[in-house]
């Protein structure tokens, strides 16, 4: 099992460019999450998908969109990148959410630099 | 809203020293508490968890006890190794807040031989 995979590992963008971060899990998990990690701030939730076909905003959704393509895949899109979006992005998945929340499993991360 | 506060790092220790990383929390409900570890270049991994007061989570020699009276979940290890060098995150999951994880800022631990 690969667990949670993310592509790309590293990306440099210019301000205003767009890109999509890809995430896939092979654990048959229902719930998937996107976080950003900034120095000294821990991880902050951008968007999550409690189940296939649903998505909800997290703590810091502005400037991002997501798509739950199927049960395995959950992508994060930056339509017009800004320097403030320079960060490390982590995708995670769990068996369930809400009252059935169990351990979240994280991917290796995507390091994004916006110039 | 919910929040998690961790001691700022970096924490630098010699091998075989005793480790404590402090974590305190505020939550509206009755949260579950977690410690995650991030090794260099990798994603986060669950280290241990506790779901109710006085529970002790333990794994790989690390321990943490859920203290409701002091709203704390301090991480301890009796004898650290160089391989324990990583960033440690305390987190909570609150049923009254949809069970989403709220993370502390992370504490970097460096263990020297």
Put simply, whether A99 touches B (Cβ < 8 Å) is yes
Task: Specify the DSSP element, H or E, that contains B73.
Answer: none
- With CA atoms as reference, the chain A residue closest to B108 would be A40
CB B10 within 8 A of CB B87: no
**Cβ distance of B105 and A103 shorter than 8 Å:** no
- Find which of A32-46, A64-78, B92-106 is predicted with most confidence, using mean pLDDT: A64-78
A98 → closest Cβ in B8, B89, B98: B98
The 10s digit of each residue's pLDDT in B70-84 is 999 999 999 999 999
B99 → closest Cβ in A42, A43, A99: A99
The 10s digit of each residue's pLDDT in A5-34 is 999 999 999 999 999 999 999 999 988 999
Put simply, whether B107 touches A (Cβ < 8 Å) is no
**For chain A, first and last CA: distance in Å?**
36
The 10s digit of each residue's pLDDT in B20-38 is 999 999 988 789 999 999 9
pLDDT band at residue B8 under the 50/70/90 scheme:
confident
Alpha carbons B86 and B7: distance in angstroms, whole number: 15
Put simply, whether B105 touches A (Cβ < 8 Å) is yes
Higher per-residue confidence, A40 vs B113: B113
Q: Does the pLDDT of residue A52 top 80, yes or no? A: yes
CB A83 within 8 A of CB A115: yes
Chain A residues closer than 8 Å to B101 by CB: 43, 45, 104
Alpha carbons B73 and B50: distance in angstroms, whole number: 9
Which tokens hold the place of B83? 């391989």
pLDDT band at residue B100 under the 50/70/90 scheme:
confident
The residue-averaged pLDDT of B3-26 equals: 94
CB B104 within 8 A of CB B33: no
Mean pLDDT of chain B: 92
Alpha carbons B73 and B37: distance in angstroms, whole number: 15
The 10s digit of each residue's pLDDT in A54-102 is 999 999 999 999 999 899 999 999 999 999 999 999 999 988 765 545 6
Which tokens hold the place of B26? 């505020």
Alpha carbons B30 and B35: distance in angstroms, whole number: 17
**Cβ distance of A104 and B46 shorter than 8 Å:** yes
């Amino acid at each position: 099992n690969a667990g949670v995979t993310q592509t790309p590992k590293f990306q440099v963008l210019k301000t205003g460019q767009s890109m999509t971060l890809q995430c896939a899990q092979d654990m048959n998990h229902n719930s998937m999450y996107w976080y950003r990690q900034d120095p000294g701030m821990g991880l902050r939730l951008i968007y999550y998908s409690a189940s296939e076909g649903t998505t909800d905003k997290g703590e810091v959704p502005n400037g991002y969109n997501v798509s739950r393509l199927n049960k395995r895949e959950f992508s994060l899109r930056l339509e017009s990148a800004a320097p403030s979006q320079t960060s490390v992005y982590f995708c995670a998945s769990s068996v369930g959410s809400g009252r059935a929340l169990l351990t979240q499993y994280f991917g290796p991360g995507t390091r994004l630099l916006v110039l | 809203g919910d929040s998690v506060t961790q001691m700022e790092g970096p924490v630098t220790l010699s091998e075989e020293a005793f480790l404590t990383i402090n974590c305190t929390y505020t939550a509206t409900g009755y949260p579950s508490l977690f410690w995650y570890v991030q090794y260099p270049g990798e994603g986060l991994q669950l280290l241990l968890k506790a779901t109710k007061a006085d529970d002790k989570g333990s794994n790989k020699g690390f321990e943490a006890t859920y203290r409701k009276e002091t709203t704390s979940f301090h991480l301890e290890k009796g004898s650290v190794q160089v391989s324990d060098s990583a960033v440690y995150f305390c987190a909570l999951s609150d049923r009254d807040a949809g069970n989403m994880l709220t993370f502390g800022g992370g504490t970097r631990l460096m263990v020297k031989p």
